[in-house]
Structure 1
Amino acid sequence: MSELADRKWRLIRDDPREGAVQMAVEEIAARTALEDDLRTVRVYSWEPSTLSLGYRQDAETVDWEYCEREGVGVTRRQTGGGGIYHDRHADISYTIVAPADEVPGDLMDCYALFCEPILEGLRRMGVDADFAGVEQSSIYQPSCYLRDINPAHDVVAPASAGADARKISGNAQYRQRDVVIQHGSISYDLEPERHVGVFETDVGPETFADRVTSIREETGIDRSEAVETLATALGEWCDAADASWRDDELEAARDLADRKFGADAWIRNREVLEADGG
């Protein structure tokens, strides 16, 4: 249990949602943390499978025809880094939301704190995971899983393999209204063809498989068991109560998704549509 467990937290085992809404609810959770003194941890998935672009990523790196043909949604995150293909089955995602004045001001210390339940969840699944012990150079910069591996926030497995360990999770943080939001992608399974297919690149699926591993490859457990194990680790880390999004939060998230995370102007150019004045 972390030092944050004496605050008020909720654990949301979220329903699958489209990418724009999944990004929007994080900003709504930031508002709830400040206005209602309620912090959030959650585990979630993407429906349909979605490519989330890093904040500054060039839209020209996306194979838009492939995404349309394969039914892959596209949104843009508030966090930097490369794009991530979040497969409906192969990806498990999580979010942690807490007021900035309650967590370490140093970015690396905050990563270490927020990744505690992620590493614990993987350990309980039988995965020998830890922050990368050594840096690895970039293979394809527009893809999160093929960028350079950074010991500060990239998780690899098996950790005992040292330089031969492969990436299993990428994590990122941003601040919204004096709240720290961390989200991350954990590979439950591998879909190499689709991971590289969403990008305009000649990188082959075999290159992806050489760099990335998964929970299923490391331990073979069912996805439902992996999701529940991660949710339990998150909940115990901050002593969170089981909860769901409130109706007003979901309504606000859908509105924000329409104006921002689902809007072509944001996805392609980082432009935000203003709310109607009336």
Structure 2
Amino acid sequence: MTDLADRRWRLVVDDARDGATQMALEEVAARTTIADDRRTVRVYSWEPSTLSLGYRQDPDTVDWNYCDREGIDVTRRQTGGGGIYHDRYADISYTIVAPADEVPGDLMDCYALFCEPILEGLRRMGVDADFAAAEQASIYQPSCYLRDINPAHDVVAPASGDRPGKISGNAQYRQRDVVIQHGSISYDLEPERHVGVFAGDLEPETFTDRVTSIREQTGIDREEAVSTLAQALGDWCGADEGSWREDELEAAADLAEAKYGSDAWIRNRELREQDGGRP
């Protein structure tokens, strides 16, 4: 448990939702943190499976026909980096939202703090995981899991092995005096679909050579993995079990329609000012 545990936190083990709504809920949680002095940690999944583009990612890197044919949604994150294919089954995602003045101002120190419960959750699952000990060169820049591996925020397993695979990517952004960190953890691998969402000519083996998963490392079932991660997040900050209020869900639905689900945002990062662009 950290020093943050003497603040008000809620743990949301969220329903599966579409990508635009999941991204909108992060912004809504940031508003709640400031307005109601209530911080949020949550674990969630994506329905339908979704490709989330990095903030500055070129839409031409997406195979739009493949995504449409396979029923894969597309949204754009507030954080940078490459695209992530969030499979409904194979991906487990999380969010941490806290006031900026309560966490380290240094980005690397803040990553270290916010990744503590992620590393702890993986260890409780029996995964030998840690930050990458050394950088690995990029294989395919448009894909988060195939970009260069950064010891500052990329988690690999087994940490003590000769050829560790990336198991989690994590990213942060600041908005209205709030720090938001979210991340993707590979529960299982769907290499054909992960490379299929991109326009580049990639073989599935490119993905499996770089990436590992909870299931590959330990064999535990997904429900247990989600529960273990949620417990680690809750223990880390002393969170009470919670849920979204109705007004938060309504605000997220409006923001998802105006921003995260709009072609202007997804394809061009463009919004009308009143729709709430990037701060």
Please confirm whether the aligned pair reaches a TM-score higher than 0.5, indicating the same fold. Answer: yes
The equivalent residue for 1:133 is 133
Distance of 1:19 and 1:272 partners within structure 2: 18
The equivalent residue for 1:18 is 18
Q: What is the count of residue pairs matched by the alignment?
A: 275
CA-to-aligned-CA distance 1:127-180 (integer Å, 9 cap, x gap) = 000000010000000000000000000000000015x10100000000111100
SS at match of 2:160: helix
The equivalent residue for 2:32 is 32
Quick check: 1:222 aligned with 2:221?
A: yes
| Structure 1 segment 75-90 matched on structure 2, within 5 A | 75-90=75-90
RMSD of Structure 2 on Structure 1 (CA): 0.8
| Structure 1 segment 171-210 matched on structure 2, within 5 A | 171-210=170-209
CA-to-aligned-CA distance 1:91-122 (integer Å, 9 cap, x gap) = 00000000000000000000000000000000
Amino acid at match of 2:124: R
TM-score by length of 1: 0.98
Distance of 1:243 and 1:228 partners within structure 2: 14
Distance of 1:251 and 1:172 partners within structure 2: 26
Same amino acid, percent of matched pairs: 81
C-alpha contact (below 8 Å) 1:259/1:274 kept by paired residues:
no
SS at match of 2:56: coil
CA-to-aligned-CA distance 1:184-223 (integer Å, 9 cap, x gap) = 0000000000000000011100110000000000000000
Structure 1 consecutive aligned stretches of length 4 or more whose deviation exceeds 2 Å? 273-276
Amino acid at match of 1:219: T
Distance of 1:195 and 1:210 partners within structure 2: 13
C-alpha contact (below 8 Å) 1:259/1:275 kept by paired residues:
no
SS at match of 2:161: helix
| Structure 1 segment 1-278 matched on structure 2, within 5 A | 1-162=1-162, 164-275=163-274
TM-score by length of 2: 0.98
Displacement after TM superposition at 1:274 (Å) = 4.6
SS at match of 2:4: coil
> Which ranges in structure 1 are unaligned for 5 or more consecutive residues?
none
Displacement after TM superposition at 1:273 (Å) = 3.5
> Which ranges in structure 2 are unaligned for 5 or more consecutive residues?
none
CA-to-aligned-CA distance 1:11-33 (integer Å, 9 cap, x gap) = 00000000000000000000000
C-alpha contact (below 8 Å) 1:2/1:237 kept by paired residues:
yes
C-alpha contact (below 8 Å) 1:125/1:226 kept by paired residues:
yes
Distance of 1:43 and 1:21 partners within structure 2: 14
Amino acid at match of 2:169: G
Displacement after TM superposition at 1:272 (Å) = 1.6
Amino acid at match of 1:68: D
SS at match of 2:31: helix
SS at match of 2:47: coil
C-alpha contact (below 8 Å) 1:9/1:238 kept by paired residues:
yes
SS at match of 1:4: helix
Distance of 1:172 and 1:97 partners within structure 2: 12
C-alpha contact (below 8 Å) 1:260/1:273 kept by paired residues:
no
Distance of 1:221 and 1:177 partners within structure 2: 39
SS at match of 1:11: strand
